[in-house]
Amino acid sequence: MLAGTCRGNISIVFDEMWYICHIDSNSLECTVLIMRILLIATNRHNRWMTKDEVRPLPIGLAYVAAYINADRHSVRILDLMFSDDPLSDTERAVKEYRPDIVGTSLRNLDNGSFTHPESALATTKNVIQTIRQHSNALVTCGGPAFSILPENCFNYLEPDVGLVGDSAECFADLADLMEDGKSWSGLPGIIYRDGGGLKVAEQKASSTLSKPPKFDDLDLELYKAAGFGVGIITKLGWYSSTVSSPTPDEEWRIVRPVQEVIDEISRLNNAYGLREFFFIDQEFNRPIDYAKQLCSAICDMRLDITWNTNISPSSYDDELISLLNLAGCQMVLIRGGAIKGNVMPGDTGEEQMRLGADLADVQKLCEMCHKHDLPYSITQGFGEIGETDQTVRDKLAFLSTAASSGRSSNVTLRIGTRLYPGTELASRAINEGIINCESELLMPVYYVSQPVRSTLIGILQEAIVEHPAWTIL
């Protein structure tokens, strides 16, 4: 017991650990409030942009750390991206820090490659098993990949609690409730095992992501040299497996105000000396007014930065492409198009094909970027429903023009469509004998249209001989 004449919080060291204590002069007692939380970024998969490796910073986990109440809890982040021995590093962190809660993040289900498929789940599972061997901490798992197939991932990874959706606030609330000895089972986005079955919250976790992410435990110097720059969220769409056809009012699950984005860029520049960024946004140019406002604000504030992002053929004009250049955009990533008219009405996959960009529209966007000397990288898909040898060659002809000599452009050839349980394409794959049942789809399996299934790789390999800078995934 500690006696004193004041009320408030102080920090003390005991058994080589920092604690926050609450001092109440009326009762002359000290109550230890601290709870130790270890957040582990398990992602070790690189993204491939042409021949280059791009190692994405764990931005989601940095947001989770930011929302945890620092007056009540101690937080550390263990990032395994650059680890030479991730399981030994996990064991060491657990033994030294002795956490009460361990939050693991699953960024990717796999590496997205048809030619060399590799699941990311085994790494996360091994990390969780290592935690179990050396700690009695509550183990949680969340992240974008976990949220795509939450029940499947939960059963495979076996955490104590899963978090589905944007779970920064949810995780912080869970920590507070656990420290208070209260139930967290009613929180949105929670999935856990109760007896023999799973309890899954009806409502997914959501977050405004309005607090600045916490990068203190991340090696930003390594990330500076490891790709496209530190991620900044501008807009986020819905997880494709959870919302099938959102209304226009629900099209984006997160849209950050322009000034908020500008403030974050300034903060990261001032606090960490960061100048290279990747704007996390499926379609930065939509809506076009938002994109123009953000680019204009970067120019008006004279922010000396460079950045990259995704754009689509849906909405653009000369003014926007010019603004992208002026605002410091170094490259735009463009998803390739489809050859329309090859899917019969009512055929499985017709809706997905209809929603895709037309190849002619993608070509026009590439021409606009070239006109303004804006470098671009095209990821062109092959093997979707309706694909034939002729449509494959038509796509390759388009790429030969779009990435011809003298243009600042890159090309990645992506084979097949990743199959997910509960989709029409998964049912089609069963009927065509690609898989026996949907339980196989936690691991990477790709659909390639039957007419090109035996010829596609050979055709693309021939194209690579002629264009050695291109990459096949």
Side chain identity, residue 64: V
Q: State pLDDT tens for residues 264-315.
A: 999 999 998 999 999 999 999 999 999 999 999 999 999 999 999 999 998 9
The ranges of the chain with pLDDT < 70 are: 1-33, 47-53, 239-250, 339-356
- Same domain for 403 and 254, yes or no, is no
Q: What is the pLDDT of residue 48?
A: 53
- Same domain for 52 and 125, yes or no, is yes
Helices and strands counted in the chain (H then E): 15, 23
Read off the CATH number of the domain in which 309 is found.
3.30.750.210
Q: State pLDDT tens for residues 69-126.
A: 999 999 999 999 999 999 999 999 999 999 999 999 999 999 899 999 999 999 999 9
Has residue 108 been placed in a domain? yes
Has residue 169 been placed in a domain? yes
- Same domain for 62 and 191, yes or no, is yes
- Same domain for 42 and 171, yes or no, is yes
Side chain identity, residue 15: D
Sign of the C-alpha dihedral computed for residues 389, 391, 394 and 399 taken in this order: negative
Contact 101, 37 (CB under 8 A): yes
CB count within 10 Å of CB 154 equals 21
Has residue 243 been placed in a domain? yes
Residue 241: give the domain boundaries.
Answer: 228-335
Has residue 356 been placed in a domain? no
29, containing H or E segment = strand 29-32
CB count within 10 Å of CB 359 equals 21
Tokens describing residue 116: 């060399």
- Same domain for 399 and 460, yes or no, is yes
Cα angle value 7/10/14 (rounded, 5°): 135
Q: What is the pLDDT of residue 250?
A: 65
Read off the CATH number of the domain in which 152 is found.
3.40.50.280
- Same domain for 237 and 324, yes or no, is yes
Q: What is the pLDDT of residue 210?
A: 86
Q: What is the pLDDT of residue 11?
A: 47
Tokens describing residue 326: 């002026």
Has residue 219 been placed in a domain? no
- Same domain for 160 and 54, yes or no, is yes
- Same domain for 184 and 289, yes or no, is no
Please give the tally of structural domains in the chain.
Answer: 3
Q: What is the pLDDT of residue 240?
A: 52
Instruction: Give every CB contact of residue 17 below 8 A, 6+ residues apart in sequence.
Output: 36, 74, 98
- Same domain for 372 and 296, yes or no, is no
Has residue 12 been placed in a domain? no
- Same domain for 287 and 407, yes or no, is no
- Same domain for 256 and 378, yes or no, is no
Has residue 216 been placed in a domain? no
Core vs surface per residue 455-471: b (16+ CB within 10 A) or e: ebbeebeebeeeeeebb
Burial class of 15 by CB neighbour count within 10 A (0 to 12, 13 to 18, 19+): exposed
- What is the rounded CA–CA span in Å between residue 451 and residue 13? 68
Cα angle value 254/142/203 (rounded, 5°): 60
Has residue 281 been placed in a domain? yes
103, containing H or E segment = strand 101-105
What's the start-to-end Cα distance of the chain, in Å? Answer: 63
- What is the rounded CA–CA span in Å between residue 43 and residue 124? 8
Q: What is the pLDDT of residue 339?
A: 65
* Cis ω for the linkage preceding 287 (within 30 of 0): yes
Q: What is the pLDDT of residue 42?
A: 96
- Same domain for 236 and 371, yes or no, is no
